[in-house]
């Protein structure tokens, strides 16, 4: 298949197809133009058909059939020049001369054009035209792939898409790559159903397309070996959900270890000023218990009882702030009752017997995927406290060089997780992590149906944005140029993207994850 | 069809340009489109009309029959040309693209020949080079070269057993012999050549039929008045009074409610293919409908040949090729570029 360069117009190269081209080359495809020792790689930005003989409609109107040659169509293409391969050294840029011939680029040329590195998760390059998504192929119909840069993980990622658009499957694929190829650790927060709870199991599919894609990548279904699901000790993960019970572990919050600031995550329907009192009250109580060495009384239930007794003391408390200053405060009765109600609701999360209290070294292990299941009642509050607690520990461990294990933190369905004061606080901590993640090898993936769910401060430090089928206007606000029609037509797994250090990749398709995805999910 | 999809240059094309450059001749940058005008070269010269071939009346054309023929295995070809004339002080250059197309399965296959000639009345100028043509009458001499090239190009390249549509009339006058030769050689290849004339002021019919004389400005005027759309006149025969071998058969055909066209064939073609002629005229009507141009009715095939002729002509930038020469453009060309 060959196209002929017509010239340049408005900064784009225009081409027309030769006779041997029988269809439209879709947007997102790559063309290579050769001129002696120079090569130019172009990315197709516009494509349409032209009828060179523009037959009269009169014959059809008169119920006559047209001449076959009059139905000839040509493919007119406008394309961006994305890569020049030239020996030129005089400071000028080569012309792409009219009448030069172009052909579909091969894998090597596409790699050059994209500037893809030799390592990173492989994805398929995709095209779109008139509501049709296709995978890019070369002249031998071989699927064209590229690798997302590994560095992308540590410059934070946003994955958006409507339910069923493929964002969770893509996130699983990236998580598995991070574990198996980068030998990092993954910490995922599961907020919905059993999305992330079966990553120990190989994916199941009979889809010929998926199998063909895996074959192209030289991969097959495989579960993650080192996988564990942590869930609040006061809840159950029912076996009927198909979750392997052996990989599930109950966890609890430990009143001895809990960071006092984390407790604000428990409070709902209370003013910020009122909420700020709880950590200092708790810190005084915690320190007091440690000083007294009274292990038996050192439970969260006892803290709640201690808090209740303040009714007799006109809501008067002794406090200890993070600098170590001891002070005294009197809570307003309304604030007091509100805090008490909240504390009473979450007593179940603390100090459960036969449950583990998570520490950073449970998470920071090479090749381990940890999932905290917060899909249960009040789970988001629990999760937010655990996450915040862990994030503080992980950042400390990394900054003090107690661990060099790269970690990827996945916040799935951010809109659900963010829908409380508790998680709001946790996300505030993530902001700090996002800004220092690169140096400490901490990556965060935010997954959401709507990019506006991401706090404004966070969105400015996210360098990779992947939009599955979602709102085109929202994608545009994140610098992804895609029309509403094209966005609406994105099939499952196809996405428009702005990838860190891979600016030329605009449309891609994620392979189905090798673990944790089952037939019904890939229909 | 392996000869098609090509653009040929006349063997003297490059040499002529080089020669002009060597002689420091400069041609103006903006040529004018030139139509070869053969209205004074009616074929045959000194003819008379014999109208006994068919009854004088209108005949309905069937586009359905034409469609069927077009979609049969018959090979359809068409010829047209496009000419650029460059008028300079030292002489005039003619850049011509001869274009032949064939209806192939799913495409039109083109074949083009580019020629380039320079004519001058300055004898001393032409003595310096055989490629600079001395001419007292460049218009006439350029026509001769054009007809010669055209005839050779058509005969050499038209596929055997085909129908050939040629834009322009059977040419008479001094160059009648070319016409005869062209026709005979095409008939040897079992090619049926049909010639198409638009915008003619000739009075072959109205001057020779008593009841029409004086009532119409031209044959076209008469045909337009007497025909409905989708009709043709009867066939007329126009014969050289001194040599009956020089004769043509023609009729007028009205596809749309605009000026009709004349379709003519040589009498020897008629002798060989008269039984096909009614079907071929239906085909012509169908091809006029396919083109569907009400402002400039033209059969589809010739229109495509014309497109290729113009496109290939535009490939050549004579001004650029001649940039080192020193001919002085005439005033009009400098001012208006025509």
Give B281-328 pLDDT, tens digit per residue: 999 999 999 998 888 889 999 999 999 999 998 888 777 766 544 444
Domain spanning A146-252+353-522: CATH 3.30.450.20: no
**A452 pLDDT above the threshold of 80:** no
Q: Among B6, B73, B108, B287, which would you mutate to test the A interface (most chain A Cβ atoms within 10 Å of its Cβ)?
A: B108
Residue A239: its pLDDT value, please? Answer: 61
State whether A70 and B290 contact (CB < 8 Å): yes
Residue with tokens 């001891």, as numbered in its chain: A326
Average pLDDT value over all residues in chain B: 85
Asked whether A510 and A214 are in contact (CB, 8 A), the reply is no
Smallest Cα distance from B36 to chain A, Å: 25
As a whole number, mean pLDDT of residues B246-257 equals 92
As a whole number, mean pLDDT of residues A22-31 equals 91
State whether B291 and A53 contact (CB < 8 Å): no
Looking at chain A, the whole-number percentage of residues with pLDDT higher than 90 is 38
If you measure CA to CA, which chain A residue comes closest to B107?
A69
The rounded distance, in Å, linking the Cα atoms of A26 and A507 is 11
Q: Which residues of B touch A57 (CB under 8 A)?
A: 292
State whether B63 and A65 contact (CB < 8 Å): no
Asked whether B59 and B233 are in contact (CB, 8 A), the reply is yes
In a domain, B320, yes or no: yes
Smallest Cα distance from B108 to chain A, Å: 6
State whether A65 and B304 contact (CB < 8 Å): no
Average pLDDT value over all residues in chain A: 86
The rounded distance, in Å, linking the Cα atoms of A190 and A359 is 18
Residue B332: its pLDDT value, please? Answer: 43
If you measure CA to CA, which chain A residue comes closest to B5?
A19
Q: What is the pLDDT of residues A236-284, one digit of tens each?
A: 766 667 888 889 998 998 888 888 887 877 776 667 777 778 889 999 9
How would you label B45-62 residue by residue, b for 16+ Cβ within 10 Å and e otherwise? bebebeeebbeeebbebb
State whether B292 and A19 contact (CB < 8 Å): no
State whether A56 and B104 contact (CB < 8 Å): no
Top-confidence range, A129-138, A142-151, B20-29, B325-334:
A142-151
Q: What is the pLDDT of residues A357-388, one digit of tens each?
A: 888 889 999 999 999 988 877 677 788 788 87
pLDDT band at residue A454 under the 50/70/90 scheme: confident
Q: Which residues of A touch B105 (CB under 8 A)?
A: 68-69
In a domain, B1, yes or no: no
| Bridge partner list, B58 | B233
Smallest Cα distance from B312 to chain A, Å: 13
Give me the residue from A55, A62, A67 closest to B63, CB to CB: A62
If you measure CA to CA, which chain B residue comes closest to A54?
B291
∠ at Cα A221 (A218, A225), nearest 5°?
110
**B330 pLDDT above the threshold of 50:** no
Q: Which residues of B touch A67 (CB under 8 A)?
A: 70-71, 103, 290, 300
If you measure CA to CA, which chain B residue comes closest to A73?
B107
Enumerate the domain spans of chain A. 3-105, 146-252+353-522, 260-349
Q: Helix, strand, coil: what percent of chain A each, to 5?
A: 35, 25, 40
**A424 pLDDT above the threshold of 80:** no
In a domain, B210, yes or no: yes
Q: Where is pLDDT greater, at A147 or A295? A: A147
Asked whether B84 and B114 are in contact (CB, 8 A), the reply is no
Residue A194: its pLDDT value, please? Answer: 77
Asked whether A514 and A176 are in contact (CB, 8 A), the reply is yes
Looking at chain A, the whole-number percentage of residues with pLDDT higher than 70 is 94
State whether A58 and B289 contact (CB < 8 Å): yes
Residue A181: its pLDDT value, please? Answer: 93
DSSP summary character for residue B53: S
Residue with tokens 């008067």, as numbered in its chain: A316
B292 touches chain A (CB under 8 A): yes
pLDDT band at residue A520 under the 50/70/90 scheme: low
**A210 pLDDT above the threshold of 80:** yes
Q: Where is pLDDT greater, at A391 or B153? A: B153
State whether A64 and B103 contact (CB < 8 Å): no
As a whole number, mean pLDDT of residues A76-105 equals 92
Q: Which residues of A touch B300 (CB under 8 A)?
A: 55, 67, 70
State whether A56 and B289 contact (CB < 8 Å): yes
**B41 pLDDT above the threshold of 80:** no
The rounded distance, in Å, linking the Cα atoms of A89 and A37 is 13
The rounded distance, in Å, linking the Cα atoms of A319 and A278 is 9
CA distances from A94 to A25, A81, A214, A320, A413 (A): 25, 11, 40, 70, 48
Residue A419: its pLDDT value, please? Answer: 54
Please state the separation of Cα B243 from the chain's center in Å: 24
As a whole number, mean pLDDT of residues A314-329 equals 90
Instruction: Count interface pairs A-B at CB distance under 8 A.
Output: 53
Q: Are strands A227-232 and A248-251 parallel, antiparallel or unpaired?
A: parallel
pLDDT band at residue A116 under the 50/70/90 scheme: confident
State whether A59 and B292 contact (CB < 8 Å): yes
**A522 pLDDT above the threshold of 50:** no
B286 touches chain A (CB under 8 A): yes
B63 touches chain A (CB under 8 A): yes
Tokens encoding B62? 């069937």
B289 touches chain A (CB under 8 A): yes
Residue B39: its pLDDT value, please? Answer: 65
| Number of structural domains found in chain B | 1
State whether A69 and B70 contact (CB < 8 Å): no
Mean pLDDT is lowest, of A173-177, A272-276, B193-197, B270-274, for A272-276
B300 touches chain A (CB under 8 A): yes
Q: What is the pLDDT of residues A501-516, one digit of tens each?
A: 888 888 999 999 999 9
The rounded distance, in Å, linking the Cα atoms of B270 and B290 is 26
Give me the residue from A53, A65, A66 closest to B304, CB to CB: A53
Q: What are phi and psi of B336, to 5 degrees?
A: -115, -10
**B244 pLDDT above the threshold of 60:** yes
State whether B107 and A55 contact (CB < 8 Å): no
As a whole number, mean pLDDT of residues A217-230 equals 93
Q: What is the pLDDT of residues B126-182, one digit of tens each?
A: 777 778 889 888 888 888 899 899 999 999 999 999 999 999 888 777 677 788 889
Host domain of residue B317: 6-336
pLDDT band at residue B329 under the 50/70/90 scheme: very low
DSSP summary character for residue A235: S
pLDDT band at residue A426 under the 50/70/90 scheme: low
Prediction pTM value:
0.75
Instruction: Give the DSSP letter string of B72-134.
Output: SS-EEEEEEEEEEEEEBSS-EEEEEEEEEEEE-SSSEEEEEEEEEEEEES-HHHHHT-TTEEE
Q: Where is pLDDT greater, at A60 or A493? A: A493
Q: Which residues of A touch B307 (CB under 8 A)?
A: 53
Residue B324: its pLDDT value, please? Answer: 46
The rounded distance, in Å, linking the Cα atoms of A462 and A454 is 10
Instruction: Give the DSSP letter string of A252-319.
Output: -B-TTT--GGGGGGG--S--HHHHTHHHHHHHHHHHHHHHHT-STT-SHHHHHHHHHHGGGGTTEEEE
Tokens encoding A314? 């006109």
State whether B67 and A65 contact (CB < 8 Å): yes
pLDDT band at residue A425 under the 50/70/90 scheme: low
CA distances from B134 to B24, B32, B139 (A): 17, 22, 12
Q: Which residues of B touch A62 (CB under 8 A)?
A: 63, 289
B230 touches chain A (CB under 8 A): no
Give me the residue from B103, B289, B291 closest to A69, CB to CB: B103
Smallest Cα distance from B230 to chain A, Å: 12
Q: What is the pLDDT of residues B83-114, one digit of tens each?
A: 998 888 888 899 999 999 999 888 889 999 99
Residue A481: its pLDDT value, please? Answer: 78
SS3 assignment, position A239:
helix
Contact residues, chain A to chain B, C-beta under 8 Å: 19, 53, 55-59, 62, 64-72
As a whole number, mean pLDDT of residues B8-16 equals 81
SS3 assignment, position B254:
strand
State the Rg of chain B over Cα: 21
**A418 pLDDT above the threshold of 70:** no
If you measure CA to CA, which chain B residue comes closest to A60?
B290
Q: Which residues of A touch B71 (CB under 8 A)?
A: 65, 67-68
Q: Which residues of A touch B70 (CB under 8 A)?
A: 67
State whether B290 and A55 contact (CB < 8 Å): yes
B67 touches chain A (CB under 8 A): yes
Asked whether A225 and A516 are in contact (CB, 8 A), the reply is no
Bin B80: left if φ > 0, else alpha if -120 < ψ < 50, else beta. Answer: beta
**B337 pLDDT above the threshold of 50:** no
Give me the residue from B63, B293, B304 closest to A64, CB to CB: B63
Residue A456: its pLDDT value, please? Answer: 67
The rounded distance, in Å, linking the Cα atoms of A225 and A176 is 10
State whether A64 and B105 contact (CB < 8 Å): no
Write down the ipTM of this complex.
0.75
Smallest Cα distance from A138 to chain B, Å: 26
């Amino acid at each position: 298949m060959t196209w002929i360069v017509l010239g340049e117009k408005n900064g784009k190269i225009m081409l027309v197809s030769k006779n041997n081209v029988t269809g439209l080359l879709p947007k997102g495809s790559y063309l290579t133009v050769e001129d002696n020792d120079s090569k130019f790689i172009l990315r197709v930005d516009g494509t349409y058909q032209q009828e060179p003989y523009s037959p009269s409609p009169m014959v059809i109107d008169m119920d006559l059939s047209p001449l076959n040659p009059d139905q000839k169509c040509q493919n007119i293409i406008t394309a961006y020049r994305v890569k020049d391969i030239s020996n030129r050294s005089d400071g000028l840029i080569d012309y792409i001369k009219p009448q030069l011939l172009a052909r579909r680029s091969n894998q090597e040329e596409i790699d050059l054009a994209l500037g893809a590195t030799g390592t990173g998760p492989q994805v398929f390059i995709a095209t779109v035209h008139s509501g049709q998504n296709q995978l890019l192929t070369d002249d031998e119909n071989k699927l064209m792939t590229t690798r997302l840069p590994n560095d992308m993980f540590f410059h934070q990622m946003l994955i958006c898409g409507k339910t069923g658009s493929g964002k969770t499957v893509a996130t699983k694929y990236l998580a598995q790559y991070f574990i198996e190829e980068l030998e990092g650790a993954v910490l995922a927060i599961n907020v919905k159903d059993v999305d992330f709870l079966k990553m120990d199991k190989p994916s199941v599919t009979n889809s010929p397309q998926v199998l063909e894609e895996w074959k192209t990548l030289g991969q097959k279904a495989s579960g993650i070996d080192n996988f564990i699901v942590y869930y609040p000790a006061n809840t159950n993960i029912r076996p009927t959900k198909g979750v392997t019970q052996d990989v599930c572990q109950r966890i609890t919050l430990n009143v001895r270890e809990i960071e006092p600031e984390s407790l604000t995550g428990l409070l709902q329907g209370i003013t910020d000023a009122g909420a700020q009192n709880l950590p200092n009250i708790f810190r005084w109580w915690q320190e007091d218990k440690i000083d007294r060495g009274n292990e038996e009384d050192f439970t969260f239930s006892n803290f709640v009882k201690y808090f209740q007794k303040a009714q007799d003391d006109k809501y008067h408390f002794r406090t200890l702030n993070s600098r170590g200053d001891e002070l005294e405060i009197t809570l307003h009765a309304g604030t007091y009752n509100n805090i008490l109600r909240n504390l009473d609701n979450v007593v179940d999360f603390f100090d459960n017997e036969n449950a583990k209290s998570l520490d950073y070294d449970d998470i920071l292990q090479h090749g381990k995927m940890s999932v905290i299941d917060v899909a249960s009642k009040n789970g988001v509050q629990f999760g937010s406290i655990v996450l915040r607690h862990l994030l503080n520990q992980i950042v400390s461990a990394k900054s003090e060089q107690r661990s060099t294990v790269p970690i990827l933190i996945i916040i799935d369905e951010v809109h659900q997780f963010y829908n409380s004061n508790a998680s709001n606080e946790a996300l505030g901590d993530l902001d700090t992590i996002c800004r220092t993640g690169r140096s400490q090898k901490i990556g965060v993936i935010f997954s959401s149906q709507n990019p506006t769910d991401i706090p404004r401060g966070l969105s400015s430090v996210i360098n990779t944005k992947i939009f599955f089928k979602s709102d085109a206007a929202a994608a545009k606000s994140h610098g992804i140029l895609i029309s509403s029609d094209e966005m609406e037509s994105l099939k499952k797994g196809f996405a428009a993207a702005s990838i860190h250090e891979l600016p030329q990749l605009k449309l891609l398709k994620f392979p189905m994850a090798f673990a944790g995805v089952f037939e019904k999910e890939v229909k | 069809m392996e000869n098609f999809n090509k653009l040929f240059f006349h063997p003297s094309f490059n040499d002529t340009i080089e020669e002009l450059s060597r002689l420091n001749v400069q041609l103006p940058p903006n040529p004018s489109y030139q139509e070869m005008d053969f209205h004074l070269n009616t074929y045959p010269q000194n003819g008379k009309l014999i109208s006994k071939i068919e009854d004088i009346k209108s005949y309905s054309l069937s586009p359905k029959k034409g469609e069927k023929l077009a979609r049969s295995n018959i090979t359809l070809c068409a010829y047209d040309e496009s000419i650029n004339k460059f008028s300079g002080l030292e002489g005039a250059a003619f850049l011509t693209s001869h274009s032949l197309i064939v209806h192939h399965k799913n495409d039109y296959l083109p074949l083009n020949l580019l020629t380039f000639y320079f004519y001058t009345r300055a004898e001393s100028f032409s003595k310096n080079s055989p490629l600079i043509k001395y001419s007292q009458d460049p218009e006439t001499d350029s026509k001769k070269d054009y007809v010669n090239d055209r005839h050779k190009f058509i005969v050499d390249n038209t596929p055997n057993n085909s129908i050939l549509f040629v834009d322009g009339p059977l040419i008479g006058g001094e160059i009648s012999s070319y016409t005869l030769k062209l026709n005979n050689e095409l008939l040897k290849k079992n090619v049926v050549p049909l010639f198409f004339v638009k915008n003619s002021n000739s009075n072959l019919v109205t001057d020779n039929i008593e009841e029409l004389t004086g009532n119409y400005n031209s044959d076209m005027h008469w045909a337009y008045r007497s025909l409905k759309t989708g009709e043709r006149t009867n066939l007329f025969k126009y014969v050289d009074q001194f040599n009956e071998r020089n004769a043509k058969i023609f009729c007028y055909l009205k596809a749309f409610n605009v000026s009709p066209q004349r379709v003519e064939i040589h009498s020897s073609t008629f002798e060989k293919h008269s039984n096909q002629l009614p079907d071929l005229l239906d085909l012509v009507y169908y091809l006029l409908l396919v083109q569907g141009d009400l402002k400039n009715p033209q059969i589809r095939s010739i229109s495509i040949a014309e497109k290729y002729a113009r496109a290939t002509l535009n490939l050549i930038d004579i001004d650029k090729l001649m940039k080192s020469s020193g001919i002085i453009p005439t005033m009009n060309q400098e001012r208006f570029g025509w």
